[in-house]
Amino acid sequence: MLKKSLRLVVMVLIIFGCSKSDENGDETNDNGDTYNRAILLTNMADNIIIPAYQDLNEKLATLVAVKNNFLTNTNQNNLEALRAAWFNAYETWQYVEMFNIGKAEEILYSFQMNVYPTNTTDITANIASGDYDLSSVNNNDAVGFPALDYMLYGIANDDASLLNLYANANHQNYLSDLVDQMQRLTNSVLEDWTNAYRATFISSTENTASSALNKFVNDFIFYYEKGLRANKIGIPAGVFSTMPLPDKVEGFYSKAHSKALISISIQAVQDLFNGKSYGSSATGESFKSYLQFLDRNDLALLINERLDAAKQNIQGLDNSLYNQVITDNSKMTETYDALQLAVVSFKVDMLQAFNISIDFVDADGD
Amino acid sequence: MKNTLTKYINTSTNAAPLAVFRIGFGLMMLYSIIRFWAKGWIETVYIQPKFHFKYYGFEWVKVWGDYTYGLFFISAVAAFCVALGFKYRIAIITFFLSFTYIELMEKTTYLNHYYFISILSFLLIFLPAEKRFSIDAYRSKKEYKKIPKWTIDSIKLLLFIVYFYAGLAKLNSDWLLRAMPLKIWLPSKYDLPLIGDALMHQNWFHYAMSWGGLFYDLFIPFLLIYRKTRAFAFVLVIVFHLFTRILFPIGMFPYVMIVSALIFFDAKIHLKIIKWIKFIIKMASIKTEVILVRNTYQYKRRKIILPIITIFFVLQLIVPFRYLLYPNELFWTEEGYRFSWRVMLMEKMGHTNFKIVDSDTKAFFYVKNEDFLTPFQEKQMSFQPDFILEYAHFLGDHFKQQGHKNVEVYAKSYVALNGRLSQPFINETVNLYAEKESFQPKNWILAFNDDIKGL
């Protein structure tokens, strides 16, 4: 009896399957084929992630050279050159911060590169003692781009006295160590990508909490929500506190760069979403095309609309977000609201469409 | 009519199916609790969170800190005693109370199958499941061959309701005409071996699974009841539940349903199972004494128990339809959604932020949900209005206690349902701190901008 029934089940399933597929056979159907997620990840790795790291690595190599030149020839011209090289690298960093995966995740790369506001007390203490471990967690807020921001702009009241400070061996060493460390870290992340991790990354397409695809999507959204929306706009605008906190802007000491940095970072987010190659206008498989495959072109369009709107808001801000908070903070909170709308699109709509296993929720469903 | 009823109530049947059901139920509950414990969920779900979401009216149910482990231990021991049929009545009452208490401690973990276990264990309190093949029977040296037929039928009726109502709930346009939410869920299973690539992205497969699931739920109870289709139906039960087990993270539920469905079979199978178990016991050289076998077990307090069971089932039939009393889209507001066998019907996600406003100065700031909620709690809170209201009150109280003045709490919330674009969910101009929880419709939920037709 049982065996007979089993045979019947199989038969019914087959008949049901066949008849159904016949019915829909003629329909044009976008979902007919399976989506190749490896191609998406390959485009990310080869045309976006690795080129961005390579560019950053080159810019940091330049920064190292300019820094060395500055330390042997400490003058105003070389200071300007150093500042320019720092900012150049900082711009490129905006493309890289969201890739918190692989080696970058392992060594907490972004914590060693861009924690702000930087801790001037720690920096001062490190310089005074001359004895420090820059990779220590305790020094996360005393290294990286924000620490350089302080070292190149904020450490003295004017350029003349700043140049005087760098006659001091301890100051020279700290500046030098900061830059060298950033280059070393970046190089190690890049090397890992080009040697081993690329293959791991593009083949890890399964839908599990630990797969590269899922982590990459989660990291991307996390970066947009935290690194971009909250850190660059929300926190200085006082969105999470009772008072605005203008001195928490990115690039606080150099004053003029904070708007430029967020402008680049949101462009980086949009480029990644659209699968646009780093440094060229070519596009490939991306979150956008994946959404289109899932019949969610409406969402892909909406996300671009919302990012464009946020970019518009950002364009209307003062070059120094510090000044913007002080003079008219409402423009900052408006920008925050615009950025927030895209968080909703990413976190609610895009995650729902991808139906990605979320890394932090472990429980039964029903 | 009255005659047939009295006749039915006095009909007796073999006690073996209920005894086997008791053993299966007890062992599965024991395993469920061990599994829950081993996964570390007692810690992450009950002990770690700073704040717990409560069911309306059960706010007094508290988590016991580290003693929560004790509560689970009691529940596990009770489940094992139920399986053994040792001090059955005390054991099943203890299990019902401890398990239900555990579920009431935190609303975030609500699952239909936990609710099913709660009400099933309640029902079992009144059934003579220990009258055969139990330690109680051996100790009292008294075993009954037969029990009233309605006792076994009541379990069948409960299973019938679960399946049939789950089927009725699928009679809606999203499920049938848009193949939602399976159209979202199935493609994400692309990495399954064999069927992942071939089937999961196929449009026809989404519809086949939706309609197949509907017919399964609606007809399986009938196929199980009817003798000639029973074996076939049982194979279907196994295939269906194992398949859902492969596709979705639904824990123990498939196994519970498969074992429960055994109750539909005649006593022959259950007698065989009992024989096997006796054989194993003998192998362990435990002596089973010869005992007095009586014929039919008769209830002593039938006049109290029958009305209780009747009311229980009337409620089970009515409660899932309470949503009809609410004016708005059920899937959107979820007023009357729980406790109704609405299983896997929605893919719903939300994003909800809270703004704390000083009503005097209008100064405001946003709350970081992660400061108060676990990721799981935040996820569940973000799309369920009763969670949002409860959390808004918690935040209001918290910031008032911190010395903030004239506290008002507003929610900025977006929710996406079954693949539609997300839309605003909560009226941003309503101070939720001033709103009270009740069974009234919540007028601060914004209207759903689409239409889902059906039951």
Q: What is the pLDDT of residues A346-359, one digit of tens each?
A: 999 999 999 886 65
pLDDT at position A81:
97
Touching check for B265 and chain A: CB below 8 Å? no
Instruction: Evaluate whether ipTM surpasses 0.90.
Output: no
| Vertex A212 angle, CA A209 and A213, to 5° | 85
Q: How close B113 comes to chain A (CA, Å)?
A: 7
Q: How far apart are CA A269 and CA A95, in angstroms?
A: 8
Q: Does position B308 have pLDDT exceeding 60, yes or no? A: yes
- Amino acid in the structure at residue B44: T
Could A35 and B190 be called an inter-chain contact, meaning their C-beta atoms sit closer than 8 Å? yes
Q: Among all residues of chain B, which has the CA nearest to that of A239?
A: B365
Q: How many Cβ atoms sit within 10 Å of the Cβ of residue A227?
A: 20
The tokens describing B427, both together, are 């009226």
Cβ contacts of B423 within 8 Å, gap of 6 or more: B414, B415, B416, B446, B448, B449
Q: How many Cβ atoms sit within 10 Å of the Cβ of residue B5?
A: 9
Of the residues A348, A358, A361, the best mutation for testing chain B's interface (the one with the most B CB atoms within 10 Å of its CB) is A348
Model confidence over B334-373: pLDDT tens digits? 999 999 999 999 999 999 999 999 999 999 999 999 999 9
Say which residue the tokens 């555990």 belong to.
B102
Q: Among all residues of chain A, which has the CA nearest to that of B376?
A: A361
Q: How far apart are CA B432 and CA B395, in angstroms?
A: 10
Q: For residue B223, what is the enclosing H or E element?
A: helix B203-225
Model confidence over B82-101: pLDDT tens digits? 999 999 999 999 999 999 99
Q: DSSP label at A138?
A: G
Task: Give the predicted TM-score (pTM) of the model.
Answer: 0.89
The tokens describing B209, both together, are 């699974």
Q: DSSP label at B454?
A: B
Question: Burial of A361 by CB count in 10 Å (0-12 exposed, 13-18 middle, 19+ buried)?
Answer: middle
Contacts of B353 in chain A (CB under 8 A): 340
Q: Residues B425, B429, B434, B439: is their CA dihedral positive or negative?
A: negative
* B12, B296 Cβ separation under 8 angstroms: yes
Distance of CA B420 to the CA centre of its chain: 27
pLDDT at position B340:
96
Integer CA distances (angstroms), B83 to B26, B30, B128, in order = 4, 9, 13
The tokens describing A5, both together, are 């029934």
SS3 B429: coil
Model confidence over A201-215: pLDDT tens digits? 999 888 887 889 999
Angle between helices B112-125 and B253-261 (to 10 degrees): 40
Of the residues B43, B114, B422, the best mutation for testing chain A's interface (the one with the most A CB atoms within 10 Å of its CB) is B422
pLDDT at position B251:
86
The tokens describing B55, both together, are 């069911």
Q: What are phi and psi of A325, to 5 degrees?
A: -60, -40
Please give the order of strands across the beta sheet that includes B292-296.
Answer: B12-14, B142-148, B292-296
Could B349 and A296 be called an inter-chain contact, meaning their C-beta atoms sit closer than 8 Å? no
Q: How far apart are CA B429 and CA B444, in angstroms?
A: 9
pLDDT at position A357:
66
Q: For residue B355, what is the enclosing H or E element?
A: strand B348-358
Could A351 and B414 be called an inter-chain contact, meaning their C-beta atoms sit closer than 8 Å? no
